[in-house]
Structure 1
C-alpha cells in the first residue's frame, strides 16, 4: 500500500472492479461480500485480478455467515479478511491459518475489547456518522477513535465514519489512527456497483438529510440484528413508519406493500446508504484517481496544520 486509505467493504456495492481500482490507486481495496452470496462472489472475485498484484481484501457481515463461507473466500488468497457486526471468534482461526490479515470492525468499547482479546491484526473503529449499518447506540468518530487507539495499542486502528475527503483522512491520522476506512465517498465512483440514481442521490445529498433507523430493515424483511441501525437518505417508508417500528414489524401487509412498491418501481430496490459527510461529495471520479486525490488532500491538510 502507498496510502493509508482502505475501501469499506460495503455489502454488494464494493465489487471486484471497485476493490481492484482502490488497490491499483495505492490503497487497500476490499470486496463487500455481505453474507457471502455464492453467485455474487463467483462474479466479482475474478475482477480483483485487475488489481495487478496489489494487496486486496474481503469483508463479511459476521452475523450472516458461517465458517465455510470464509473458507471459500480464502481459497482466492485475499491479503486481508474484515469481519463486522457480530462475533468474529468462530472465524479468526481459519483466517490466520490462511495467512491473511484479520481486520475486525468495532462499534463500541465492548466490541473493541473483544477484538483485542481475539488478537485482531487491525481494528476498525466505526463512528455513528458512517453510512449504512452501525451501532444504534454508538459514539461519534472524533471521540471514539482515540479511545480505541489507546485501548488497542500497539494494534493499528483505522478510523471510519464521516470521512469523505483528505481532510478527514488527515484528521484520522491526527487522532492516532493508522489510516482511514472510507465508504460512502467510494460509492460515488465509476466502478461502484450502485444504480446511477443512487450515485446521483449521494452527489446531490446533504448530511442533514441522513438518519439512522431500523424502519427500512424491518420493511425489507432483513434479518439485521436490532443492535445495528442503518444511516440512509430519506425514504417514503421511513416517513410513513418513523417511530412505529414495533407496529411495522407486526404488520405483514406493510412488508408486502414494500415489496410491491419495489416491484412497481415506486421506491428504489435498496435504500440509499449514506454517511453524514455526503455534502463533500460532488463528482463521480474513478476510484484509483480518488485514492490519489484523498492522499494529496490529506498531505496538504497536515502540512497546513503543521504551519499553524
Structure 2
C-alpha cells in the first residue's frame, strides 16, 4: 500500500517514503537491519555506538550495498572521535545522528560532507543547542524509550510538543515508547514530522541480537521495564552516570537496586556478572526495552514492518479525524 498521506517535512528532507526512522541502537542496528528499514521506505540508521573500527568495517558495506535508498549512521557522541565519523562519511550516508553528549565537535564535518545532521535531545537545553548548531532534524527522546536516555528526562507526550515549538521550523522526530502505527500517528498529532523506533525493530528478522533477546522482547511487558544504572555498572560499561537505561527485569537489578555505589566498588561482583554470562546463567546483554514492549508480539522482516507501521498510522489518523 502506498501511503502518500504521510508526507512530512522529514520525508521531504530525507527523501524517504514514510516518516519512520530506525533508532541507531548500538551494535544491534547493523547493516542488514538499517538496509531493510530503508528498503521498506523508512530511514535506516546504523547503530555505530562508540565507533568501533572493526564493527564499522563490517557493517558499513552491508548497508551501503544493501539499499539504494537513503540511510544513515548514528553514534553515541560521548564515546567517539572524529575518525569514527569520517570513516562513516566515506560511505556517503544520507544522514548522521548524534546522541548523548556534546555534538559540536562533529557537526561541521558532517555538514561539509553533505549529510543531514540529526541530533537527539533529552531536555530543552540540549534542544536549544541542537537548534544553535543548525541541526537538520531533531529527535526528542522521552523516558519511556528502551536503552539509554537522560536520568532526569521527561515523558514523550509532554516533551515532544515543547521541542516542536522550540525548534520550529526544524523537523522533530518523536522517540520513546513508540512501537506501533498508533504511536507514529500520535507523534504526528503532537506536531512531530515522524517517529524514531528502537525496541520494535530489535524484534525483527534482521536485527543483530541474540535469539534469546528477541524472545525476551516478544514475551516482555512494559510494567517490567525499569530505568537503571545497575547493569551498566555490573558490566563495567563506560556510559556516563547522567544516562540510565530502560531494561527488562534482571537478577542483578534485583540484587543491587539502590546499592549502585557499593556495586561500583566491588570488583568481585562485576567479575561474577561476567562469569554468569559466560556460563549462560544470564542473557549476553541486558534486554533494552521500552514501555511499549507489550505491543511487540512477532518477529517480522523490518521492511514489511515499516510498511505495516505506516499503514496503521494512516488508519489511526483517519479514524481520529472521523471522531
TM-score (norm 1): 0.99
| Cross-structure match for 2:10 | none
| Cross-structure match for 2:49 | 34
| Cross-structure match for 1:12 | 27
Give the Cα–Cα distance (whole angstroms) in 2 for the partners of residues 293 and 282 of structure 1. 14
Q: 2:161 aligns with which of 146, 159, 178?
A: 146
| Cross-structure match for 2:6 | none
| Cross-structure match for 2:87 | 72
SS at match of 1:33: strand
- Give the number of aligned pairs: 308
- Report the CA distance between 1:135 and its aligned residue: 0.7
Q: 1:89 aligns with which of 101, 104, 118?
A: 104
| Cross-structure match for 2:9 | none
SS at match of 2:49: coil
| Cross-structure match for 2:40 | 25
- Report the CA distance between 1:167 and its aligned residue: 0.2
Gaps of 5+ in 1: none
Q: 1:114 aligns with which of 109, 126, 129?
A: 129
Q: Does 1:268 align with 2:283?
A: yes
Give the Cα–Cα distance (whole angstroms) in 2 for the partners of residues 73 and 119 of structure 1. 20
Q: 1:186 aligns with which of 198, 201, 205?
A: 201
| Cross-structure match for 2:269 | 254
| Cross-structure match for 1:61 | 76
Gaps of 5+ in 2: 1-15
TM-score (norm 2): 0.94
> For each residue in 1:222-241, what CA deviation from the matched residue of structure 2 results, as whole angstroms up to 9, or x when unmatched?
11011100000011100100
SS at match of 1:105: strand
- Report the CA distance between 1:52 and its aligned residue: 3.0
Q: 2:306 aligns with which of 281, 286, 291?
A: 291
- Report the CA distance between 1:264 and its aligned residue: 1.4
> For each residue in 1:130-155, what CA deviation from the matched residue of structure 2 results, as whole angstroms up to 9, or x when unmatched?
00000111000000000000000000
Runs of 4+ in structure 1 deviating by more than 6 angstroms, as ranges, are: none
Give the Cα–Cα distance (whole angstroms) in 2 for the partners of residues 154 and 142 of structure 1. 20
Q: Contact 1:8/1:30 (CA < 8 Å) preserved in 2?
A: yes
Q: Contact 2:64/2:91 (CA < 8 Å) preserved in 1?
A: no
| Cross-structure match for 1:205 | 220
- Report the CA distance between 1:46 and its aligned residue: 1.3
Give the Cα–Cα distance (whole angstroms) in 2 for the partners of residues 204 and 49 of structure 1. 33
Q: Contact 2:34/2:71 (CA < 8 Å) preserved in 1?
A: yes
Q: Contact 1:203/1:278 (CA < 8 Å) preserved in 2?
A: yes
CA RMSD of aligned residues (A): 0.7
